[in-house]
Chain A
């Protein structure tokens, strides 16, 4: 493995967190007065004061990674509907502070893509992970971050396969983040031609049949099963094979073969099967070349099963594990009517009575749990090895899910992570996590006392039993974070 100058610089900054260019902003971060910052909102800390989860808390819980101290006051100022509208237009929300905090992750802004290959792959994964955590914690465009989380699972890529190690940062930026609240058809096309995806699901080696060499069906199958129609979407094995034929010939310049423009996606007409095909009952004439891709994307995006499948997934994320059929159909109808406009689809979901009525009852996945802890406490973290290790132990480190179905959304697969959550809660609020700082005394004082702080975590006033437990535990912040109520949203 050749050592380039950037390699060397990257290695240096990994070794010493405060060295080099990346270290500069970390250093300024350390020098920033503890727990102060334009986004913390301690000045307007307004915990809930009813005995049940109110509208404001519910909406904050579902559309964000959990409320920060000042979030509730801001939502009440805008009104529930107003705040949702704002979140649905992330481009109108000033997020310069978050951008500044993640700007030092140099690799995430590298262009052209081939430059990424000069980085150490472990360093890339670390930067990608840190940026993901810090954006989820600090971004004011919370719904956008929640959707980034959603689509990262929907179009899951484990970059540990082949050149994906170097290409995933570009996928994160130009596929997932760029289209998270845009149009599904555009998102899908970006994903289909993402070099990282072409590596992960073998699209790059999918070529027309020749001798015993058959087209590689891997991407075609997941495109139908996971990305669009869903496993019960009514396609057949024949459809998978026909879609695979349509997508033959898309290649990526590989690191070990190409000297220039590594990572570039190219259509090789000689590897493409240009014969006639039939996909989902529709004929695709011979001779369309790379145009086959557009035809396939149109067919799958316009298929009613795709609208239902995506609506079902969105409803399971934002409403309940088993949402009623009527709301799923309403969301699917908007998806179809707007040709896959993600904002408008979400708008229908948030406007539904089912959404507003579904209080609590969903269990936070570990990433959500960790991020909501940092948000609730106004903690500052480097999102470094200690925090990432906890996510690994809980089996939910970003970009580390091996199979294309993405981390599960339902609660059951995460039920074995409680022990680690408790350990995290105790270490976080007691001795402290290396690289993460929180000031419990100041937090309590800002909230206006222990009862109000408890309400901030529980989303409602604590019951007398809970209040007694907090005192008797000897570690009230730890108990709040470890409590069953804080595991749900």
Chain B
């Protein structure tokens, strides 16, 4: 029940962290199919050369700007799915993000629904946070969620008179019915948040977050996870992927931010905690296979999805039904097709987080593959 949720030494179900790469990230230049000649023919100017890649499996290679993720791959903690995406074909940032975050033509966001319909819904005072100024659409409808810039947003503020909390605690102690235990639970959560914000945070295992916003956001999430406040989900956005011109100039920086942030996050969490924390990286669509005249790429369809940690069985693999880029039909005007619907990739993660959850309510109107 409520009190056990907050008083256990571990949050029972672990935490889901959703990272959305806004702007349509070019999966082909992140996880490069160097074994497919068609890739180099389509991208003579911006293709990443074989010798610069970190090999993954003899066919795909990792962009050097994502090098910090390579150890996690080798440790079996990172899996990659190529040709991933949604069925939305508009190639519009707004429409495609909206579609993906709502989970199709559905009300509310898929993450909000997941948190609402899971059997232990609403038992944690801090179910979900969005790092940033506003809630993303995927969290709409969550039982309790807050967009925060820093952990201090959670406390009662520094203007609370000294006598307030003791008197409040006394009133709730003698409250009848469900309010008594609920009050004790909220007080315990408050105490944990205060403890978190009182002391400067020292990351574990010499994790180095740097000073980027994205990394700092992930650091706030780690503090909440370690603080045992009952966090079930967090979202962090990383923008800047819309590489219509000079691909590497646009994409190198966000790739570095992504890999540095994830590396620090996983390092700081440590093995045990990482096993209970699932990190998902997704984007609204990928890019055209062929480069354009400005050495960039235009809006396409399939891209990559990453999954880090979470005790996943399929780590250390690139999952893909790969189309031969020379001979296979591409999608629309020449885009990497979507062979793996993002919902089918989310489903096993959600089942690990909440085994009894009814996924037909999370993804209404969609038949999961397995």
Chain A residues packing against B (C-beta within 8 Å):
157-162, 164, 200, 202, 361, 363, 392-395, 400-403, 411-420, 422-423, 426-427, 430-431, 465-466, 469-470, 472-475, 478-479, 482-484, 487-488
Contacts and interface: CB of A to CB of B under 8 A. Distances in A.
A257 to B, nearest CB: 14
Nearest to A404: B107
Given A418-B182, A469-B171, A473-B164, A423 B109 contact: no
A157 B163 CA distance: 44
Given A416-B143, A472-B167, A474-B163, 13 more contacts: A161-B106, A363-B179, A392-B135, A403-B107, A415-B178, A418-B179, A431-B157, A469-B167, A469-B171, A473-B161, A473-B164, A475-B161, A475-B164
B144 A394 contact: yes
Contact of A484 (B154, B156, B172): B172
A420 to B, nearest CB: 7
B122 A484 contact: no
Given A474-B161, A479-B167, A423 B156 contact: yes
B97 to A, nearest CB: 13
B160 interface: yes
Given A160-B107, A431-B159, A473 B144 contact: no
15 contacts: A160-B102, A393-B145, A401-B108, A402-B140, A412-B178, A418-B183, A418-B185, A420-B125, A422-B186, A426-B156, A469-B171, A472-B166, A473-B168, A475-B161, A482-B168
Interface of B: 2, 102, 105-109, 112-113, 116-117, 121-127, 135, 137, 140-146, 154, 156-157, 159-164, 166-168, 170-172, 174-183, 185-186, 189-190, 230, 361, 365
Nearest to A1: B94
A479 B169 CA distance: 11
B121 A413 contact: yes
Contacts of A403: 107-108, 113, 116-117, 141, 361
Contact of A160 (B137, B144, B154, B183): B137
Contacts of B107: 157-161, 164, 200, 402-403
A413 B179 contact: no
Given A403-B107, A422-B186, A423-B156, A478 B164 contact: yes
Contacts of B190: 419, 422
B60 to A, nearest CB: 37
A161 B102 contact: yes
A395 B179 contact: no
Contacts of B168: 422, 473, 479, 482-483
Q: What does DSSP make chain A's interface, helix, strand, loop or mixed?
A: helix
A402 B113 contact: yes
A424 B135 CA distance: 19
A47 to B, nearest CB: 19
Nearest to B122: A413
Contact of B144 (A202, A417, A478, A484): A417
B272 to A, nearest CB: 26
Nearest to A200: B107
Contacts, number: 156
Nearest to A416: B125
Contact of B171 (A402, A415, A417, A466): A466
A475 B112 contact: no
Contacts of A412: 122, 178
A487 to B, nearest CB: 6
Contacts of B186: 416, 418-419, 422
A400 B230 CA distance: 23
A158 B177 CA distance: 32
B292 to A, nearest CB: 25
A195 B235 CA distance: 33
A200 B185 CA distance: 37
Nearest to A158: B107
Q: Which of B107, B137, B162 has the most CB of A within 10 A?
A: B107
Given A415-B2, A416-B122, A479-B168, A402 B112 contact: yes
A418 B175 CA distance: 13
Contacts of B161: 473-475
Nearest to A430: B159
A161 B122 contact: no
Contact of A474 (B121, B140, B164): B164
A257 B54 CA distance: 48
Contacts of B143: 395, 413, 416
A392 B186 CA distance: 18
B116 A469 contact: no
A416 B157 contact: no
B343 to A, nearest CB: 16
Q: Which of B175, B181, B183 has the most CB of A within 10 A?
A: B183
A478 B167 CA distance: 11
Contacts of A418: 125, 179, 182-183, 185-186
**Shortest 9 CB-CB distances between A and B: which pairs?**
A402-B108, A474-B161, A158-B107, A402-B141, A484-B175, A415-B182, A418-B186, A161-B107, A473-B167
A409 to B, nearest CB: 13
A469 B163 CA distance: 9
A161 B183 contact: no
A436 B185 CA distance: 29
B350 to A, nearest CB: 15
A489 B266 CA distance: 47
Contacts of A465: 170, 174
Contacts of A482: 168
Nearest to A415: B182
B133 to A, nearest CB: 11
A88 to B, nearest CB: 30
A202 B104 CA distance: 13
Nearest to B109: A402
Contacts of A159: 107
A158 B176 CA distance: 34
Given A400-B140, A403-B361, A466-B171, A423 B157 contact: yes
